[in-house]
């Protein structure tokens, strides 16, 4: 209570900026849940597993190669705080160009090597074929996501979290409607099953990218790009690289860990695989507010540094971390008390519900630590200390999370619960190091330009 009273203005500012971001994250999660629900009920658990494995590849590629946006957000926030709007728009334009070229590269790579990549997983022939069908039809959406992520990162850096929220809302509504029409063959449309889900996703993401480009060209919140802003230059690319390569490495190590973890989970039966996918979707919903707070915190911390006020940056990060713990405790209680009613929303398969119930209770203990880590890492990124976040995150994943998960699955037969035992263990150790990195304030000496 004392923390709330002492930092009430900071908490208010975080909440105002975070609320649209939280709604945006919630909308993203809802569409993911809608996809899961529709695929589970229309196609079955094989389809659910197939989409999960395909998306694992897709998001591994996207998150690693869109990491320049972490640096762009910090640079935009710092420039916005300094009121250097000319430099701000150069950052926005050049980051957009960079994402455009990377998006094309990743789209073509994914399309050409889809079957070879998906062969890594030890899954049934039916799940494999469904994964390939989904992957090939959703591949183009990766290019659209690069454009959208670049634009959204820039807008958030300038303190505009409302525009990404509205665009995400439009895209997600279109995605849900498209899913139903194309998966079931509504009216005169063909019944495309899992391909329909992929096509609907691609169309919705394409529309989102177009809307973002319109906003950037017309201008919003001091951001207005011109053709001259799109030309790449060392003046912007050098600091962008210095900030972003660590974020890219962090995402590489993180997505590689999740990828290996998916391979470990694929050693289990299809029911366990499906239970894992459902639980991941549920947990994604639980930490969306933490991501929203993290986005707001990164923006405010960077802005305060631009205003030459590192003490305010520190206070902002600490208050945000406290908010994350409170939210995580609330979510943990819900996970522990109401697992069956929540799981029933996703599947009517009794065997699947039974397989996931105990694991969901264990996942409840993970929520406070998870929310805290998400927010403090966001605060550090906002300062430009992407190297510290990369180092701590990578060590957490590869010294505890992945090895322990493998041991618990392979030698102790703990099944899908192994994932959360391993994650809780890793957070218990490394949340201390992440927080210490932030309060030591080494980031106050980081220069960007």
Which pairs with CB-CB distance under 8 Å and at least 24 residues apart come from 9-13? 10/312, 10/315, 10/316, 10/319, 11/319, 11/323, 13/300, 13/316
pTM metric for this prediction = 0.82
The pLDDT score that the predictor gives to residue 36 is 67
Say whether pLDDT at 1 is over 60: no
Q: How many domains does the chain have?
A: 1
Say whether pLDDT at 447 is over 60: yes
Q: Residues 113-138: what's their mean pLDDT?
A: 80
Q: Residues 223-248: what's their mean pLDDT?
A: 91
The pLDDT score that the predictor gives to residue 2 is 60
Domain hosting residue 357, numbered range: 2-445
Say whether pLDDT at 220 is over 60: yes
Cα radius of gyration (the chain)? 21
Q: Residues 221-248: what's their mean pLDDT?
A: 91
Three-state secondary structure call for residue 193:
coil
Pair 360, 334: CB distance under 8 Å: no
- Residue 59 burial (10 A CB sphere; 0-12, 13-18, 19+): middle
**pLDDT of 172-187, one tens digit each?**
889 889 988 998 898 8
Which pairs with CB-CB distance under 8 Å and at least 24 residues apart come from 307-315? 307/81, 307/82, 310/441, 310/444, 312/10, 313/379, 313/382, 313/383, 313/444, 314/438, 314/439, 314/441, 315/7, 315/10
The pLDDT score that the predictor gives to residue 33 is 64
The pLDDT score that the predictor gives to residue 9 is 86
Cα–Cα–Cα angle for 121, 196, 257, rounded to 5 degrees: 30
Distance CA 22, CA 164 (A): 11
Higher pLDDT, 120 or 194: 194
Distance CA 352, CA 366 (A): 21
Angle between helices 417-439 and 350-364 (to 10 degrees): 30
Binned at pLDDT 50, 70 and 90, residue 113 comes out as confident
The top-scoring range by mean pLDDT among 33-47, 107-121, 145-159 is 145-159
Distance CA 71, CA 448 (A): 10
**How far is Cα of residue 200 from the mean position of the Cα atoms in its chain?**
20
């Amino acid at each position: 209570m004392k923390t709330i009273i002492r930092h009430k203005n900071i908490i208010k500012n975080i909440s105002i900026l975070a609320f649209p971001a939280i709604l945006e994250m919630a909308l993203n999660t809802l569409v993911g849940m809608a996809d899961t629900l529709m695929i589970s009920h229309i196609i079955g658990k094989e389809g659910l597993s197939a989409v999960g494995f395909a998306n694992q590849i897709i998001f591994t590629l996207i998150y690693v190669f869109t990491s320049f946006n972490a640096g762009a957000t910090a640079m935009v926030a710092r420039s916005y705080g300094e009121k250097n709007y000319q430099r701000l728009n150069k950052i926005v334009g050049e980051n957009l160009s960079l994402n455009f070229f990377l998006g094309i590269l990743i789209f073509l790579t994914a399309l050409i090597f889809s079957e070879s990549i998906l062969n890594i997983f030890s899954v049934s022939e039916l799940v494999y074929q469904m994964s390939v069908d989904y992957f090939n039809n959703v591949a183009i959406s990766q290019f659209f996501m690069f454009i959208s992520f670049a634009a959204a990162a820039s807008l958030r850096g300038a303190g505009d979290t409302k525009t990404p929220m509205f665009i995400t809302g439009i895209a997600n509504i279109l995605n849900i409607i498209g899913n139903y029409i194309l998966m079931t063959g509504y009216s005169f449309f063909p019944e495309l099953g899992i391909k329909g889900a992929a096509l609907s996703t691609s169309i919705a993401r394409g529309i989102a990218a177009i809307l973002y480009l319109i906003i950037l060209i017309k201008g919003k919140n001091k951001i207005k790009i011109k053709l001259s802003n799109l030309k790449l230059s060392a003046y912007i690319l050098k600091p962008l690289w210095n900030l972003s390569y660590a974020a890219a490495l962090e995402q590489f190590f993180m997505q590689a860990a999740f990828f290996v973890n998916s391979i470990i989970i694929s050693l289990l039966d299809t029911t366990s695989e499906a239970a894992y996918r459902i639980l991941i979707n549920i947990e994604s919903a639980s930490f969306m507010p933490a991501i929203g707070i993290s986005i707001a915190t990164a923006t405010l911390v960077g802005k305060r540094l631009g205003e030459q006020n590192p003490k305010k940056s520190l206070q902002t990060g600490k208050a945000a971390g406290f908010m994350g713990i409170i939210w995580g405790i609330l979510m943990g209680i819900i996970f522990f008390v109401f697992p069956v009613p929540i799981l029933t929303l996703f599947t009517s398969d009794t065997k699947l519900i039974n397989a996931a119930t105990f694991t969901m209770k264990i996942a409840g203990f993970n929520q406070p630590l998870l929310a805290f880590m998400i927010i403090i890492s966001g605060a550090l990124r906002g300062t430009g200390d992407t190297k510290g976040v990369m180092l701590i995150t990578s060590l957490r994943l590869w010294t505890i999370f992945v090895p322990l998960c493998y041991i618990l699955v392979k030698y102790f037969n703990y099944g899908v619960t192994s994932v959360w035992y391993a994650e809780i263990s890793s957070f218990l150790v490394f949340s201390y190091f992440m927080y210490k990195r932030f309060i030591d304030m080494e980031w106050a000496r980081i220069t960007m330009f």
